[in-house]
Amino acid sequence: MANKTIPNNRSVVDFINAVEHPKRKKDAFLLLEWMQELTGQEAVMWGDSIVGFGSYHYKYDSGREGDMPLVGFSPRKAKMVVYIMPGFARFNDLLEQLGPYKTGSSCLYMSTLDKVDHDILKELIKRSFTYMNQKYN
């Protein structure tokens, strides 16, 4: 099966403007601003719902390979998702200070940015981006 999460030319601003939940939309524009500033990269749509910054190529031992953004986010209906691609093990010091969240393998789920420490979240994004950029580029 082909990977559908590939960069495309869709408008990031149009995508965020189409978010129905007003708070999620506001948070998405805030993350857009922060990530552009922290990464020095322009935002690119990946697939239908991920706003990504930079890219890296991965290849698993199974032979599966592809490209993904170095860092990104998606304003989902239930939660805001920030993609921390190296996972969270190396960032425990920051997670302890962040505020309420849940994680998946590379997904940081937050109900709203109002409930987390903005400086800590920015540092997490910055460290993750720097790590992935140094590892893959």
Read off the pLDDT of residues 53-85 as tens digits, 9 standing for 90 and up: 999 988 888 888 889 999 999 999 999 999 999
Of 2, 137, 16, nearest to 72 by C-alpha is 16
Q: Specify whether the CB–CB gap between 51 and 83 falls below 8 A.
A: no
What is the model's pLDDT at position 1?
A: 44
Q: Which residue is it, tokens 């990977």?
A: 3
Domain edges within the chain:
7-136
Helix (H, G, I), strand (E, B) or coil at 67: strand
Residues 6 or more apart whose Cβ sits within 8 Å of residue 135: 56, 86
What is the model's pLDDT at position 95?
A: 97
Read off the pLDDT of residues 100-132 as tens digits, 9 standing for 90 and up: 999 999 999 999 999 999 999 999 999 999 999
- Ordered alpha helix ranges (H), the chain: 12-17, 22-39, 92-98, 118-136
Q: What would the CATH number be for the domain defined by 7-136?
A: 3.90.1150.200
